[in-house]
Structure 1
Amino acid sequence: MEIHVLEREQRLDRPPEEVFPFFAEAKNLERITPEFLRFKVLSQVPERMAPGTLIRYRLRLRGVPIRWLTQIEQWQPGRRFVDMQLKGPYRCWHHTHDFEPDSGGTLMRDTVRYAMRAGPIGELVHGPLVAPDLAKIFDYRIARIEALFGGR
């Protein structure tokens, strides 16, 4: 199983204590996800996230309907959280969100480690389809987050 890594980093004008609460609210994912994915949070997420919290989503990948179940694996308010796919399109998906103070603002970093399903066939579609799609999705997120919080 080949593990792929996607990383994105951005600097925001606001401190982590102002930025983190936005990401602590699962429904806000809908605001920073491209419309072509038709992304919808299905779960009633508790007011306070914690390790073990489950979040259900629905989306479309290249027109194919997908149900996705994520579990919060680590939860460090204001600093970091990690979600892991329990059910979804990937063999594994492990997404770390880091928020670091940075000269009065925030250095925000996403690190996604993921593996394709379907062995060699999955790897064949990774390069021409999956990797560019993920880059497009995360680049869109950067633009939306910068519009919401200001970037540097």
Structure 2
Amino acid sequence: MREYILERTQIIPQSRETVFGFFSDPRNLELITPPWLHFKILTNPLPQGAGSIFDYTLRVRGIPIRWRTLIEEFVTNEYFIDRQIRGPYQLWHHTHTFKTLPDGSTEMKDRVRYIIGWGFLGTLAHALWVQRDLQAIFDYRYQVIETHFRR
């Protein structure tokens, strides 16, 4: 069982409070998720906090998936951690951190630890599809965030 890590850093020309507010609103997941995933939030989009749980659906390569996320930790304007408690991964642990830079912009970091499971088949799926799909999803997010915060 191999653990993989995906890390991304993005500088956003807005205050940390503004950026954190955007990412802590679950409704914005639909905006930053690629349309080809057909992402739909199912739970009432209440503000996040430690212990919050959100259900949503998406389609990966045409396969419908139900996903449930638990917000494990939440420190306003600093970071939050979400963990998949139901979904396709054996482990999905996503840390979002926000840091104010000297010029007033915000450094946002995503760090995702994930395990696919399924032994050799999971390793093969990662090499053939999963890694590439995750890169495409986070590339899309990057572009949407750039456009959204630079208008």
Short-chain TM bin:
over 0.9
* Within-5 A mapping of 1:1-150: 1-47=1-47, 49-102=48-101, 103-150=103-150
Secondary structure of the 1:89 match is: coil
Secondary structure of the 2:27 match is: helix
TM-score normalised by L of structure 2: 0.96
The aligned length equals: 150
Where has structure 1 moved over 3 Å in runs of 4 or more?
none
**Structure 2 portions without partners, runs of 5+:** none
Contact 1:27 1:41 in 2 (8 A): yes
Shift in Å, 1:50:
1.6
Secondary structure of the 1:21 match is: helix
Contact 2:26 2:46 in 1 (8 A): no
Contact 1:69 1:86 in 2 (8 A): yes
Identity rate, percent: 45
- Two-structure CA RMSD over aligned residues (Å): 1.1
Offset from partner CA, 1:127-149 (integer Å, 9 cap, x none): 12000000000010010001111
Partner AA of 2:66 in structure 1: R
